[in-house]
Amino acid sequence: SKEILMFLGRAFAQAQVYTPGHPVVRRSLGEALELLTEIFNNDMHEEIIFYLDHERLLVNGRFVGNLKEQGSGIRSLFVSFNFHSVTFLKGIELEDLSGFCELFRENIKDKKQFKVDDWLHEQKIVHIRANEAFYVKMEKNADDIVKETGGAAGGGGDNLVSDDQGPDDGARAPGD
């Protein structure tokens, strides 16, 4: 798990400087793909989930380190794009990873309005999913839930009022 983080982090950091087609980026992506493929071939998992729980980074539920200990590429992925989790699905190919690296080259003016699912669909990336982080602030004696979008490592963004109170909306109450 830590090796995959190292290779992906390196590729993501390099993608901020070079194009995803650059040999240096492709080499790091190739090494990450080899490890992902090996895990999928030797394991019963159909997906590998990199998940942020406050400052703790987990891979398929196993703690691998704190976010601040990770390379700049991994930190940027979670903090700059406000991701809560990134999932790599069995069958992933180099083109999926290379296409995902294009995210770092996007000129996204308003990241709070950016919809990663739409972007992945437009890029035809089918073996990677990303979930955006948001936090819920419950007001005492209030009927509305206030969703706070913000940095994956602690919030601090805009407040959005939502009447969607479904159990599967990924929201978390403070202290969870």
pLDDT tens by residue, 31-80: 999 999 998 998 778 999 999 988 899 998 899 999 999 888 898 888 88
Both structure tokens of 50: 């990199």
pLDDT at 161: 36
pLDDT-based confidence at residue 123 (cuts at 50, 70, 90): very high
pLDDT tens by residue, 129-138: 998 865 555 5
Measured CA to CA, the distance from residue 50 to residue 154 in angstroms comes to 17
Contacts 24+ apart (CB under 8 A), 33-36: 33/92, 33/93, 33/94, 33/97, 35/3, 35/4, 35/7, 36/4, 36/88, 36/92
pLDDT at 27: 93
Does the predicted TM-score (pTM) go above 0.85? no
Of the ranges 15-24, 31-40, 152-161, which one carries the lowest mean pLDDT score?
Answer: 152-161
